[in-house]
Amino acid sequence: MTELVAISHPDVPQGEMNALVDEAAAAGYTVALHRAGRRFLVFARPGYAAPPGSDFFRSKAYISDVISGNSAHPLGDRTRYPHGSTVQVGGIRFGGGQSVIIAGPCSAETPEVLLETAAKVRESGASMLRVGVFKPRTSPYTFQGLGAAAFEALIEARSRYGLPIVSEITSVSQLDALLSTVDMLQVGARNMQNYPLLSALGTCDRPVLLKRGLAATVDEWLSAAEYLLAGGNEQVVLCERGIRTYERSTRFTLDLGVVPVLKGRTHLPVIVDPSHGTGRADLIHPMSRAAIAAGADGVIVEVHPRPAQALSDGFQSLDLPGFKQLVTELEPVAQAVGRPLHAYSDLQPV
């Protein structure tokens, strides 16, 4: 493993970096240069000859950060921003000391359902809207989402209710359409290790919500984030959504321990999805409380006006009164741990 990773400022000329590498090698480092989007990373290991300290790199004008190494994911490493980084989506800020609630239907089934849900979750206290347009479905014979046909309704929902929107991307071919419609791109559990997709998102200027793969280790997850960060996109929020274990009383096992684990290892904000994480609507309330108490920067929950009629995931969706109750319950817990619910009063009025 390496001892140091020096991270360049954006857009440094390649020639300058080549010269730096030569200089470092002459000074006794074993050096590898890696291009990461608009930046370069210099992985440097001191040699047997007395090596210069990390000041060697810090003193260079075109170097932005030097992190002390052995991290497999240097750009996301907590040591880089010890107080955590924040990610801004519309008027919402993840990681800034407030708890964010994202809510909405599993998929945009009809414009009416989407608009009704958006109106009600905003009224109850959601800060952001989630909605599936391109759905990755286990079976090819089930409802696959409305696809592009949903875009008009999304735009309408955002303009009416001012809620930023997060939606899943499953293929690079959907990127342009989603960039012109939604505020944050979600990479779902099944695509956490879809590296061509991550690389494409790494070069975008749009926040990404990176869900944990359903059997991903913390290291694999942070490495997946590194594809985004190395590409130049530093607006990354991680989302725990349950892991696959032997236990069957819940659809997945929500791994809340990962929240403080991540807080110690990465500067990226972390939220929790108790809908997918448990697969049971009746567990959303207690597990949302627990997620906030464990230190999460927010939760993302599925809400549907009539869950029993939902085309997908109704069994893990709150109804509208259930969502209102959720916000009521979360408020005192969020206060108790010092990260109050996001004040959505600044959102554009209806």
Residue 16 CA: distances (Å) to CA of 3, 8, 20, 149: 22, 10, 6, 48
Shortest CB 169 distance to a second copy, Å: 10
Shortest CB 235 distance to a second copy, Å: 17
Q: Residues 306, 270: contact at Cβ < 8 Å?
A: no
Shortest CB 247 distance to a second copy, Å: 6
Q: Residues 269, 300: contact at Cβ < 8 Å?
A: no
Please choose, out of 80-88, 159-167, 170-178, 340-348, the segment that lies near a second copy by the rule CB under 8 A.
170-178
Using CB under 8 A, which of 14, 203, 328, 335 touches a second copy?
335
The residues in 5-64 that bind a second copy, with binding defined as CB under 8 A, are 34, 36, 41, 43
| Cα–Cα distance measured from residue 297 to residue 21, given in angstroms and rounded to the nearest whole number | 39
Shortest CB 122 distance to a second copy, Å: 24
Shortest CB 218 distance to a second copy, Å: 4
DSSP-derived secondary structure for 115-181? HHHHHHHHHHT-SEEE-BSS---SSTTS----GGGGHHHHHHHHHHH---EEEE--SGGGHHHHHTT
Q: What type of residue is 1?
A: M
Using CB under 8 A, which of 26, 49, 55, 249 touches a second copy?
249
| Cα–Cα distance measured from residue 212 to residue 210, given in angstroms and rounded to the nearest whole number | 7
* Count of chain residues binding a second copy (CB under 8 A): 71
| Local structure of 346: helix, strand or coil | helix
Shortest CB 123 distance to a second copy, Å: 23
Shortest CB 157 distance to a second copy, Å: 25
| Cα–Cα distance measured from residue 11 to residue 38, given in angstroms and rounded to the nearest whole number | 5
The residues in 193-222 that bind a second copy, with binding defined as CB under 8 A, are 193-196, 199, 214-215, 217-220
For residues 85 and 194, which CB has a smaller minimum distance to a second copy in the complex?
194
Q: Where are the beta strands (DSSP E) in the chain?
A: 4-8, 29-36, 39-46, 63-68, 87-89, 92-94, 100-104, 128-130, 165-168, 184-187, 208-211, 236-240, 270-272, 298-302
The candidate with the shortest Cα–Cα distance to 70, out of 47, 31, 48, 44, is 44
For residues 41 and 347, which CB has a smaller minimum distance to a second copy in the complex?
41
The residues in 119-138 that bind a second copy, with binding defined as CB under 8 A, are 136-138
For residues 29 and 161, which CB has a smaller minimum distance to a second copy in the complex?
29
Shortest CB 58 distance to a second copy, Å: 21
Radius of gyration of the chain (CA): 21
Backbone angles phi, psi at 236, to 5 degrees: -120, 130
Tokens of residue 146, six digits: 């409305």
Tokens of residue 261, six digits: 């684990």
The residues in 263-292 that bind a second copy, with binding defined as CB under 8 A, are 264, 277-278, 282-283, 286-287, 289-292
Shortest CB 44 distance to a second copy, Å: 13
Question: Does residue number 306 form part of the binding site for a second copy (CB under 8 A)?
Answer: no
Question: Does residue number 340 form part of the binding site for a second copy (CB under 8 A)?
Answer: no
Using CB under 8 A, which of 181, 253, 314, 327 touches a second copy?
253
Using CB under 8 A, which of 172, 179, 343, 350 touches a second copy?
172
Using CB under 8 A, which of 119, 155, 177, 261 touches a second copy?
261
Using CB under 8 A, which of 22, 70, 148, 244 touches a second copy?
244
Question: Does residue number 332 form part of the binding site for a second copy (CB under 8 A)?
Answer: yes
Quick note: the x/- pattern for a second copy over 83-122, rule CB under 8 A, is: ----------------------------------------
In sequence order, which residues have a C-beta less than 8 Å from that of residue 181 and are 6 or more positions away? 151, 154, 155, 165, 167
